[in-house]
């Protein structure tokens, strides 16, 4: 793979960081040492064992040094126990995304370019000091001309070109690794790189985040205890998002909540209802519910912010999750493993008995415990080694869901340590199971299948006419090869002969049964009597031959 001049400098930066953390041998395995003109002595510099840091720590530090694209990659990998062992997953959760804010002049230029006017005309007030800064964007406080307070999220200068360059390089590295490493036997690395690129590029378009917020508003329009801030669409573009600013107490600030007189049990209840509804009913969930994105407003109303990361679960995904939950509660490991294979999580050729044994051990660990004593974080920690050992491949949205549940559980335990999430979810699960049996759930798929059959029947005469025309013109030749074809044909022939003889014999017997009562046995016999006697003798002969034939074949057809 030739390296273009546009990518060369960035490749060298990546190589320097990897060599500095002891991963130079990977560059040599990918064949980049010669293309980047790297001295071979550098590829094995600074062995990991000499600096006291584990390989997982070096991976995290290397990703942080390489910048926003690789930090985002590490954050996604931290939720994928099917790709990395548990020690690496734990370390990647410590990735830091805090960076110094970009210069105000550059930020102001982006805002005015995107919004098409000066900030002085667009806003009554605008704070040039950001209230938050990350690798992709930073957030400023402002006031609209009508006095409404808003937050303005603006993309950092040149970040899109930087990310596009890094994504091109990551895809190239994935293709090299697919061709030159054993990982190709387990994973489709280019496909994983492409999936990551699509996700990250979508995150750079803030119009998408605004539409996510609007969708949450619609889904929870009837819910009085959840508040989603308004999006100012006339001020929102691909690189700028302006949204209503909401003021409340951080949901994790227990002391402040108690001082304000809030009922923590009610807050936990509202939070649980929010997460259960968005998963089981809507199939569209907030995938980054850390305490910084959730505030508590008066009357225990939950305020949700930052809709850049969301997850999707179609009805089949939700049904699969519910079925897995039910089989796990029943300790039915055989059905559970079969369900994993059916939804494509586990490969059909895996060692089923070993996976069933490990899953059963895990389930027995929690069997008999009260549901409120079972923690999602503990279950996930126990699952990670099994997932990695058997290379179970859950869809990326399932991992987002697992991360979401663990985050919300951590918040819930702080609010109310005795809160029973399973008890709250029980009526939602029952309603979901009921909907699965209603015509509104299975009707569309039946109609879709019926439409397909109707299309087939409609096109069948036309296709048949064309096929017969090809046969008549000698344009179509069908060749079928079946092992031991002649043998099976002879068997079919014998079976057919016996069936025909049996039917003929039965017909003769019935005819004789009707004719014998009218026989005249006075000698000399009449022609009619001779016919009946001859037919009787033929029937005896056929019956004898058929019985002997069956006995000689041992009863086989």
Q: DSSP assignment of 404-458, as one string?
A: HHHHHHHHHHHH-TT--HHHHHHHHHHHHHHHHHSHHHHHHHHHHHHHHHHHHHH
Task: Give a three-class secondary structure readout of 170-210.
Answer: HHHHHHHHHHHCHHHHCCCHHHHHHHHHHHHHHHCCHHHHH
> Using one digit for the tens of pLDDT, what is the confidence trace for 191-226?
889 988 998 998 899 999 999 999 999 999 988 899
> Using one digit for the tens of pLDDT, what is the confidence trace for 420-476?
766 777 777 777 766 655 454 444 554 455 555 556 556 667 777 777 777 767 766
Chain centroid to CA 399: how far?
8
Domain count for the chain: 4
Residue 322 lies in a domain: yes
Looking at residue 42, its pLDDT comes to: 54
Q: Which of the four pLDDT bands, split at 50, 70 and 90, describes residue 305?
A: very high
Q: Measured between alpha carbons, how far is residue 468 from residues 459, 461, 463, 472, 475 in Å?
A: 14, 10, 9, 6, 10
> Using one digit for the tens of pLDDT, what is the confidence trace for 531-546?
777 777 777 777 777 6
Region 118-131: mean pLDDT is 95
- In the chain, how many H helices and how many E strands? 23, 11
Q: Distance between CA 68 and CA 162 in Å, rounded?
A: 9
Is 469 found in the same domain as 362?
no
Is 519 found in the same domain as 468?
no
Looking at residue 486, its pLDDT comes to: 61
Concatenating the DSSP letter of every residue in 472-512 gives HTT--------TTHHHHHHHHHHHHHHHHHHHHHHHHHHHH
Q: Which of the four pLDDT bands, split at 50, 70 and 90, describes residue 160?
A: very high
- Within 10 angstroms of residue 121's Cβ, the number of other Cβ atoms is 9
For 57-60, the CB contacts below 8 A with 24+ separation are 57/91, 58/21, 58/22, 58/23, 59/21, 59/88, 59/91, 59/92, 60/91, 60/92, 60/94, 60/95
Residue 475 lies in a domain: yes
Q: pLDDT at residue 292 above 90? A: no
Residue 251 gets which letter from DSSP? Answer: T
Looking at residue 82, its pLDDT comes to: 77
Q: Is 288 a catalytic residue?
A: yes
Residue 229 lies in a domain: no
Tokens of 31: 């064949």
Residue 513 lies in a domain: yes
Region 318-339: mean pLDDT is 82
Q: Which of the four pLDDT bands, split at 50, 70 and 90, describes residue 89?
A: confident
Is 460 found in the same domain as 369?
no
Residue 156 lies in a domain: no
Is 501 found in the same domain as 405?
no
- Cα dihedral: 274, 280, 285, 287 (round 10): 90
Q: Distance between CA 360 and CA 285 in Å, rounded?
A: 30
Q: Distance between CA 64 and CA 153 in Å, rounded?
A: 23
Is 495 found in the same domain as 407?
no
Q: Which of the four pLDDT bands, split at 50, 70 and 90, describes residue 341?
A: confident
Residue 234 lies in a domain: no
> Using one digit for the tens of pLDDT, what is the confidence trace for 374-417?
777 778 788 888 888 888 887 777 777 877 777 777 777 788 88
Q: Distance between CA 295 and CA 309 in Å, rounded?
A: 18
Region 290-302: mean pLDDT is 89
Strand 132-133 and strand 310-312: the pairing is: unpaired
Is 409 found in the same domain as 318?
yes
Is 319 found in the same domain as 432?
yes
Is 336 found in the same domain as 419?
yes
Looking at residue 443, its pLDDT comes to: 47
Q: Measured between alpha carbons, how far is residue 556 from residues 416, 440, 495, 506 in Å?
A: 73, 51, 10, 21
Residue 87 lies in a domain: yes
Residue 226 lies in a domain: no
Higher pLDDT, 398 or 48: 398
Last residue of a domain, one of 437, 467, 499: 437
Lowest model confidence (mean pLDDT) among 107-111, 347-351, 404-408, 455-459: 455-459
Angle between helix 527-552 and 485-515 (nearest 10)? 150
Q: pLDDT at residue 27 above 90? A: no
Is 352 found in the same domain as 419?
yes
Q: Distance between CA 64 and CA 58 in Å, rounded?
A: 10
Q: In the chain, what's the furthest Cα-to-Cα distance? A: 133
Is 70 found in the same domain as 195?
yes
Give φ, ψ of 193 to 5 degrees: -65, -40
Can you give the residue range of the structural domain that contains 460? Answer: 441-479
Give φ, ψ of 158 to 5 degrees: 60, 10
Is 498 found in the same domain as 533?
yes
Looking at residue 106, its pLDDT comes to: 95
Q: Distance between CA 451 and CA 445 in Å, rounded?
A: 10
Using CA of residue 280, residue 284, residue 289, residue 294, what is the dihedral sign? negative
Give φ, ψ of 516 to 5 degrees: -60, -40
Q: What percent of the chain has pLDDT over 70?
A: 76
3-state helix, strand, coil in the chain (%, to 5): 65, 10, 30
Give φ, ψ of 138 to 5 degrees: -140, 160
**Contacts (Cβ under 8 Å, ≥6 apart) of 282:** 219
Q: Which residue among the candidates 33, 82, 172, 288 is catalytic per the annotation?
A: 288
> Using one digit for the tens of pLDDT, what is the confidence trace for 256-265?
999 999 999 8
Last residue of a domain, one of 176, 199, 222: 199
Using CA of residue 123, residue 129, residue 130, residue 136, what is the dihedral sign? positive
Q: Are 217 and 243 in contact (CB under 8 A)?
A: no
Q: Distance between CA 126 and CA 154 in Å, rounded?
A: 13
Looking at residue 77, its pLDDT comes to: 85
Is 427 found in the same domain as 333?
yes
Among 402, 427, 429, which residue's Cα sits nearest to residue 318? 429
Give φ, ψ of 364 to 5 degrees: -65, -25
Residue with tokens 């402002």: 142
């Amino acid at each position: 793979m030739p390296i273009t001049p546009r990518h060369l400098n960035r490749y060298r930066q990546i190589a320097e960081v990897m060599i500095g953390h002891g991963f130079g041998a990977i560059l040599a395995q990918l064949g980049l040492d010669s293309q980047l003109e790297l001295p071979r002595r550098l590829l094995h510099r600074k062995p990991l064992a000499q600096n006291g840091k584990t390989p997982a720590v070096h991976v995290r530090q290397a990703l942080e040094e390489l910048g926003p694209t690789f930090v985002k990659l590490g954050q996604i990998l931290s939720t994928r126990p099917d790709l990395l062992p548990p020690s690496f997953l734990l370390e990647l959760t410590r990735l830091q995304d805090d960076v110094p804010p970009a210069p105000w002049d550059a930020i102001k230029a982006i805002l005015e370019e995107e919004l098409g006017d000066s900030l002085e005309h667009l806003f009554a007030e605008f704070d040039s000091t950001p209230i938050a800064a990350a690798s992709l964007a930073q957030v400023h406080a402002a006031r609209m001309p009508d006095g409404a307070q808003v937050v303005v999220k603006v993309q950092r200068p040149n970040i899109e070109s930087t990310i596009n360059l890094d994504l091109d390089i990551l895809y190239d590295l994935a293709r090299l690794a697919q061709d030159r490493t054993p990982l190709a036997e387990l994973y489709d690395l280019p496909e994983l790189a492409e999936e990551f690129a699509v996700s990250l590029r979508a995150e750079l378009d803030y119009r998408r985040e605004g539409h996510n917020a609007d969708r949450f508003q619609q889904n929870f329009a009837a819910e009085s205890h959840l508040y989603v801030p308004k999006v100012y669409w006339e001020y929102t573009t691909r690189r700028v998002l302006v949204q209503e600013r909401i003021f409340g107490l951080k949901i994790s600030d227990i002391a402040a909540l108690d001082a304000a007189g809030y009922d923590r049990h009610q807050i936990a209840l509202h939070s649980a209802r929010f997460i259960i509804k968005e998963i089981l009913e809507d199939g569209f969930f907030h995938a980054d519910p850390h305490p910084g994105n959730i505030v508590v407003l008066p009357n225990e109303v939950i305020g949700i912010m930052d809709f850049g990361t969301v997850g999707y679960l179609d009805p089949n995904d939700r049904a699969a999750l519910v079925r897995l939950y039910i089989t796990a509660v029943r300790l039915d490991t055989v059905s559970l493993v079969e369900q994993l294979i059916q939804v494509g999580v586990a490969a059909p050729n895996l060692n089923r008995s070993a996976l069933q044994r490990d899953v059963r051990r895990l389930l027995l660990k929690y069997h008999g415990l009260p549901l409120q004593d079972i923690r999602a974080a503990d279950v996930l920690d126990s699952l990670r080694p099994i997932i990695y050992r058997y290379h179970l491949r859950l869809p990326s949205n399932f991992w987002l869901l697992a991360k979401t549940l663990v985050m919300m559980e951590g918040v819930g335990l702080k609010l109310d340590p005795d809160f029973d999430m399973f008890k709250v979810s029980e009526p939602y699960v029952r309603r979901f199971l009921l909907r699965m049996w209603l015509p509104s759930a299975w009707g569309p798929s039946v109609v879709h299948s019926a439409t397909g059959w109707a299309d087939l029947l409609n096109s069948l005469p036309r296709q048949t006419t064309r096929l017969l025309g090809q046969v008549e013109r000698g344009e179509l030749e069908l060749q079928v090869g079946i092992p031991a074809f002649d043998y099976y044909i002879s068997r079919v022939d014998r079976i057919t002969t016996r069936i025909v003889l049996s039917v003929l014999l039965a017909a003769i017997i019935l005819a004789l049964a009707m004719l014998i009562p009218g026989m005249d046995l006075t000698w000399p016999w009449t022609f009619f009597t001779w016919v009946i006697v001859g037919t009787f003798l033929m029937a005896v002969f056929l019956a004898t031959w058929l019985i002997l034939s069956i006995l000689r074949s041992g009863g086989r057809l």
